[in-house]
Amino acid sequence: MGFSQNRNNNMKLKLKHIPLLLLPFSLNVNAQEIKAELNKEIKRQEKISYILDYPKNTKGNVPLIVFLHGSGERGTNLDLVKAHSPFTYKNLIKEPVAILAPQCPEGTWWDTVTVYNLIKEIQKKYKIDASRIYLTGLSMGGWGTLKLAMEHPEMFAAVASVCAPTDQVMTANIHQFKDLNMKIFHGGMDDIVLPANAFNFYQKLHPVNPTAELVIFPNDNHNSWDSAYSNPQLYEWMLSKKKEK
């Protein structure tokens, strides 16, 4: 009697577990694998404020320097974008150039798609030498500089990043920088964006672009933009470069 009762109990336990064992199989039977493609034109609204310093009384096309500011200049006060920038040292630039400085909205980082489209729009509206477009930026703007250069290396004759944070997307796509004229500036004492950002990026960059230059200002903290932008040789180097057509 005891054996028969135990056997019945065991069978009940086993029967209770059968639906659970069958559940994954029933799910697999009901699932389907779908392979497809999204091919749809998506419109997006782009809005960005900017300052354009355009030389007067110029007859031909002029070079364009695009400057991306740091996080402290975000917002709606456009005059902020001229701080710590090529605007400050315009007297060091020996030929007529246009300087474009967009402003990043508060609480955001650079939308490089919008910046790219802004540059294209400036090219349509003004006499810009397409073979002499230069890109530079500091801190958050240095990150934006490297990101935009990675996405559109065909646009820029020279690129200079200053105290820039770098990321794994940039290093994973390091081949995008292989044909660019580049300078990477950083302060050796930078405790906001550590110099390791520049060292690690350059370590990946140099094998694919041996002419790229890493410049460390050993006594500078995060404000290495002062040393970079106050040097007339930066602008001489930039303006000596032309994009091959």
Q: Are 193 and 201 in contact (CB under 8 A)?
A: no
Amino acid at 106: E
Enumerate the domain spans of the chain: 49-239
With contact defined as beta carbons under 8 Å apart, do 175 and 204 qualify? no
Please name the fold of domain 49-239.
Answer: Rossmann fold (3.40.50)
Residue in this structure with the two tokens 């020996």, named with its chain if needed: 94
> What pLDDT score does 4 carry?
47
Binned average pLDDT, 10 residues per bin, the chain of 245 residues: 48 47 54 80 81 91 97 92 92 96 93 97 96 98 98 98 98 98 99 98 98 98 97 98 86
Q: Taking a C-beta distance cutoff of 8 angstroms, is the pair 159, 182 a contact?
A: yes
Contacts of 198 (CB under 8 A, 6+ apart): 164, 166, 184, 185, 186, 214, 216
pLDDT score of 15: 44
Cα 224 to Cα 139: distance, rounded to the nearest angstrom: 9
pLDDT computed for residue 160 by the predictor: 99
